[in-house]
Structure 1
């Protein structure tokens, strides 16, 4: 059998081939690390940044595109509020409370007939530090009214514009009088209540910043 074509490696040659193989693997791993650090990682960071910028631009464009619709809706809401105002239009809290008290007085004098009317015994505004809502204004009232006049007054208040609401209602029935004398206020209800409403908010502004 001929062995001229066979190459037999010596131990030294085996060691050299193993070292060369290890060096090749180390070199390959080093190339991969360098590619990751100097190419793949920067490219990934730039790609994520570009995607973030594109998403931000899309949000900004969506807000800008919706601005005309928002402004139209706000103008419509303002016109509707001016036509049928639910909030008190006065610019300050004190003026709004004065306006509320004047409206209450007007409603008291507008109800009743044949000498039967409500009477305001006391009318005291609620101060700002007594309410948790800065937009809320209120007046504490004490009235003397007949039953029919009281119902008319309550309906007139809660159907008013600007809107007013009744709260903390306390009604005491009249005491019986034994002397048989009658008067305009005999049989009137003693009524304690709070009438409240809300100030108009400041004009809203559209913020188109992202």
Structure 2
């Protein structure tokens, strides 16, 4: 009688052990891990929601800043000329000045070509004024020109930059070609001031 009762308790213990093992091997992977992943996803969405709410709270300040820039005609970061033609001429003149400053007397740098480029997105609020440029310069002069253009205000941008090393390059006013140097081509552009109260570009 005592042995039979002991066997029942042992069988019950074995059953509980098997059920526990089944729970560990099946129930937890099927239900526990997805719940943990769902909780992690919820935490991530809550953090993202908090960041978005913080950005939305800054909307009035951004709108006031944009209104101030519109009232000032777009701020100091845009080209000051009222038309694309005048801005293109000023851009070319600024380019010639930068090259002359980097190489006085054109001894180490020559401006080979500067061709105005038409803006393919004239319908947008921000109109781009661009010039296609080709230079033949020494290494130091090339760095000086690019640095001066990209650090200028109003902001100017250099795009489609191509640099080819040359063994010799000719400098205007010099009978002998200089050894070494670079053949540099790029597009230089800036933006006209947007018209106040116009539709915002997207």
What are the ranges of 5 or more consecutive residues in structure 1 without an aligned counterpart? 1-65, 206-210
Partner of 1:87: 78
Q: RMSD over aligned Cα, in angstroms?
A: 3.4
State how many pairs are aligned: 133
Q: Does the aligned pair in 2 maintain the 1:115–1:184 contact within 8 Å?
A: no
Q: Does the aligned pair in 2 maintain the 1:147–1:188 contact within 8 Å?
A: yes
Partner of 1:98: 89
Q: Does the aligned pair in 2 maintain the 1:116–1:146 contact within 8 Å?
A: no
> Do the aligned partners of residues 88 and 73 (structure 1) sit closer, same or farther apart at CA in structure 2, a change above 3 Å counting?
closer
Report whether the alignment pairs 1:125 with 2:112.
no
Separation of aligned partners in 1, 2:147 and 2:65: 35
Q: How much has 1:72 moved relative to structure 2?
A: 7.9
> Do the aligned partners of residues 130 and 117 (structure 1) sit closer, same or farther apart at CA in structure 2, a change above 3 Å counting?
farther
Partner of 2:136: 144
Report whether the alignment pairs 1:174 with 2:166.
yes
Please state which structure has a larger fraction of its residues in strand.
2
Partner of 2:146: 154
Question: TM-score scaled by structure 2?
Answer: 0.55
Q: How much has 1:137 moved relative to structure 2?
A: 1.2
Which structure: larger Rg?
A: 1
Q: How much has 1:140 moved relative to structure 2?
A: 0.5
Q: Does the aligned pair in 2 maintain the 1:116–1:184 contact within 8 Å?
A: no
> Do the aligned partners of residues 129 and 161 (structure 1) sit closer, same or farther apart at CA in structure 2, a change above 3 Å counting?
same
Secondary structure in 1 aligned to 2:93?
A: helix
What are the ranges of 5 or more consecutive residues in structure 2 without an aligned counterpart? 1-59, 170-174
For each residue in 1:105-148, what CA deviation from the matched residue of structure 2 results, as whole angstroms up to 9, or x when unmatched?
11010113697432110100101348786611111011011001
Question: TM-score scaled by structure 1?
Answer: 0.53
Q: Does the aligned pair in 2 maintain the 1:116–1:149 contact within 8 Å?
A: no
Q: How much has 1:81 moved relative to structure 2?
A: 5.9
